[in-house]
Structure 1
Amino acid sequence: MGACMALCSLASCASCLCGSAPCLLCGCCPSSNNSTITRLVFSLFLLMGTMVSVIMILPGMETELRKIPGFCQGGASITGIDNLADCDVLVGYKSVYRMCFAMTCFFFLFCLIMICVRSSKDPRAAIQNGFWFFKFLILVGITVGAFFIPDGTFPTVWFYFGLVGSFIFIIIQLILLIDFAHSWNKVWVGNGEDSDNKCWYAGLLTFTLLFYTLAFAAVVLFYVYYTQPDDCTEHKVFISLNLIFCIIISVVSILPKIQEAQPHSGLLQASLISLYTMYVTWSALTNNPNRKCNPSLLSLLSNVSTTEPSGDGTQDHVQLWDAQSIVGLVIFLFCTIYASIRSSSNTQVNKLMQTEEGRGSGGEGVVGEDGIRRALDNEEEGVTYNYSFFHFHLCLASLYIMMTLTNWYQPDTSTQAMQSTMPAVWVKMCSSWLGLGLYLWTLIAPLVFPERDFN
């Protein structure tokens, strides 16, 4: 699907911007469902905003902007008119905050508009699946307005919005990973049973061992680099607890009772969840303001230089772009794309993600009266996903991107810098514990409620 989107010409897309979502991509990917393409286009909006944020936070961007004559305030003017652009707002964490504020408002607006849409026969479904040019204009308008927000308390207040939203989004990411691992295991085991080819089982075993090896290696590195013999008690507790919890879910996933109730549960899912939990743990440890317990792992493993923190613990925007931010972006991109094309058979995950079972993928293109092949409208009887929840998910994703790109540092309005804070550490750790609890629930729910159908 992504390759098809890349091959579409800009001219053909521009001619359909006021039409429906299928019109945007029908010439390239006709055998697709209306619901899938709509989610992909909205996700594309989010990815475009993410790309802009990444560009504006790159080190040296402010220097490049100031080289443009007559652009930045305080720079050389070639027109005799005062320069209007505040380049301090257009780069660094300030630009990321404003760009993500605009995307959050955009998706929250559609979250409210799409409440209780039941099928594509609802007039609001046409808004969801079409009028892309006007949606783009709305997003651009909100973005421009966001850059006129005065600093004041905006960065501090929006930081706490980002903490709460990112907390929820980390859990959603874990749910998507649970669903992905479940589907992966089911497909490969099914292929192995149908073809009697042992390579499928060997593949599952290989990836399971790989994930567990990486998770265990991460634990060792955490103890080596993020703990001290006479200090860093919180880190020791966090690492040990998550290690114990990962062992528990791994053991529970292969218990005979669980296997009987959940035939497709296994160590593949548990290993992937364990690896993701270790990533969240690493991300939390890197936000500890105690520099003795939080060295720069990137500088230890590579030749990349980082700016030293000042005496008060604050850090400039160069340090915002580090290893855990890059890993977080990769996971975010995977989960965003997967959320746009997923069609799960996992009943519990569908309930958590507000989607329907086995719907929304693999449609048959239809030919309209004008001879143009269009995507199938597979939502005439009922929507395949909750429109409002999908936009709420993208709203949270915008906040998560903001926190990831700024490394979860809190703005300091007095020094115009960023600093690590313990609230970010606790938010990440609590989200990892809640996520592990959700995965454990997907395992034991059929035993707790045997009268319900969890197949």
Structure 2
Amino acid sequence: MIARYIYAIIFLIMSVIAWMLRDYSHRTLNDLHFLRGCGGEQECLGAEGVLRASFGCFLFFFVMYLTTVRTSRTDDPRDSWHSGWWPVKAFILAFFIVIPFFIPSAFIQIYGEIARFGAGIFLVIQLVSIVNFIYWWNESWLSDNNIRRCRIPIVLVSVLSFVASIGAIILMYIYFSPRASCGLNIFFITWTLVLIIIMTIISLKPDINAGLLTSGLMALYLVFLCWSSIMSEPVSETCNTMTRQTGKGDWLTILSFLIAFGAIVMSTFSTGIDSKAFSFKTDEDPSEDKVPYGYGFFHFVFAMGSMYFAMLLIGWNLHQTAHKWSIDTGWASVWVKIVNEWLAAALYIWTMIAPFVIKDRDFSSH
């Protein structure tokens, strides 16, 4: 089990390398002629450096995915490959770190286009994992063993979730739409409120009875995505009156960056070990020799996460390097998060109504 933490550390190191290439590569790598700029523009060096580091990280985890996929038992030789052979894998990783910097710029740009798609896959996987976690939380507290002692916590968490969601929406109206001309932000916030109302009404229908806990937690998640998307708006956007990432290296910007950076690693790690959320059949192998989590899925998530952190560091824009100490900013980031919010609401609603549309399939059990 300790192997997964080592892989998370590798992922973190590669993310740090990508960030340093973005913010500090201009001076240290300026003498390497094949790294100078992209498309003839010196500013693009940082963004292209991020893509090169991301490509190396992707290659490492994709190779691990190909060599461990469908490993089901600990007596499989691939189990020891996943959890051991670290000197060999250190050599492979070092090779994949170096080799992308000898690849022509045109190919790296093609990889950047592919990385947008891979980052989208990662967001979908993460979304399914979050919805699965919310259902697991609800079912755990409502189980026969916990229902008596968890009644009050269920009510408290549900009420607090809705109160916090409504309070956050009110604050977003205050800080993100100070005047009537801020129509886009007003639309984002209002539509978030509408989605929360729709989800709650559906969850309370007697035939569905999904409960307030799941709807409350989903409401919090939607509000977070809405707030995060608006906070990604460029600094020049005057409708957002809150302090944002300016690249000046002030303590708030650095703290926000470090929190966001840690969140990338944690979300990738937690999603990678949640392969059961994507299982479409009941586990019929309870033996002790079964692997504790899906190795192939774990590495696939980290491979897609490699593309995802690249998009965050360059703001989903292949031809523009973000400010220092900034992450996930720009209009492309805004729309990615907003669409992700709408998909989250659609997925949650689907899990509630799907048993009535597709019979004999319990969507909430995975």
Specify which of 171, 176, 189 is matched with residue 129 of structure 2: 176
Corresponding letter in the other structure for 2:94: V
Q: Does 1:269 align with 2:227?
A: no
Aligned equivalent of 1:225? 175
Q: Aligned in 2, Cα 1:134/1:189: closer, same or farther, shift over 3 Å?
A: same
Query: For the residues of structure 1 that align with 2:133 and 2:279, how far apart are their CA atoms?
Result: 15
Specify which of 69, 85, 88 is matched with residue 131 of structure 1: 85
Aligned length: 356
Aligned equivalent of 1:389? 297
Corresponding letter in the other structure for 1:45: I
Query: For the residues of structure 1 that align with 2:64 and 2:327, how far apart are their CA atoms?
Result: 32
Specify which of 28, 33, 53 is matched with residue 99 of structure 1: 53
User: Following superposition, which runs of at least 4 residues in structure 1 exceed 6 angstroms of deviation?
Assistant: 82-86, 317-320, 415-419
Q: What is the SS of the residue equivalent to 1:394?
A: helix
Q: Does 1:210 align with 2:160?
A: yes
- Of the two, which has the highest radius of gyration? 1
Aligned equivalent of 2:267? 335
Query: For the residues of structure 1 that align with 2:170 and 2:5, how far apart are their CA atoms?
Result: 39
Shift of 1:289: 4.7
Query: For the residues of structure 2 that align with 1:83 and 1:431, how far apart are their CA atoms?
Result: 39
Report matched runs for 1:358-397 at 5 Å: 377-379=289-291, 385-397=293-305
CA RMSD of aligned residues (A): 4.4
Query: For the residues of structure 2 that align with 1:378 and 1:120, how far apart are their CA atoms?
Result: 6
Any idea what the Cα deviations from partners look like across 1:245-274, whole Å, max 9, x if unmatched? 122122222321112xxxxx4222222222
Give the TM-score taking structure 1 as reference length.
0.63
Q: Does 1:242 align with 2:174?
A: no
Q: What is the percentage of aligned positions where both structures have the same residue?
A: 27
Any idea what the Cα deviations from partners look like across 1:324-381, whole Å, max 9, x if unmatched? 655544543443343455586xxxx3437xx864989xx9xxxxxxxxxxxx6324xx
Unaligned runs of 5+ in 1: 1-35, 75-81, 260-264, 300-304, 309-316, 364-375
Q: Aligned in 2, Cα 1:357/1:42: closer, same or farther, shift over 3 Å?
A: farther
Q: Does 1:351 align with 2:316?
A: no
Query: For the residues of structure 1 that align with 2:306 and 2:29, how far apart are their CA atoms?
Result: 27
Corresponding letter in the other structure for 2:296: S
Shift of 1:142: 0.6
Q: Is the 8 A contact 2:312 2:327 kept in 1?
A: no
Aligned equivalent of 1:49? 14
Query: For the residues of structure 2 that align with 1:156 and 1:335, how far apart are their CA atoms?
Result: 26
Q: Is the 8 A contact 2:169 2:223 kept in 1?
A: yes
Q: Aligned in 2, Cα 1:72/1:174: closer, same or farther, shift over 3 Å?
A: closer
Report matched runs for 1:132-151 at 5 Å: 132-149=86-103
Aligned equivalent of 1:432? 341
* 270-279 vs 288-297, greater mean Cα deviation: 288-297
| Larger helix percent | 2
Any idea what the Cα deviations from partners look like across 1:48-86, whole Å, max 9, x if unmatched? 3234445x2797x679xx7xxxx7657xxxxxxx99999
Report matched runs for 1:385-424 at 5 Å: 385-408=293-316, 410-412=318-320, 421-424=330-333
* 113-122 vs 279-288, greater mean Cα deviation: 113-122
Give the TM-score taking structure 2 as reference length.
0.76
Specify which of 111, 125, 133 is matched with residue 65 of structure 2: 111
Query: For the residues of structure 1 that align with 2:134 and 2:265, how far apart are their CA atoms?
Result: 17
Shift of 1:404: 2.9
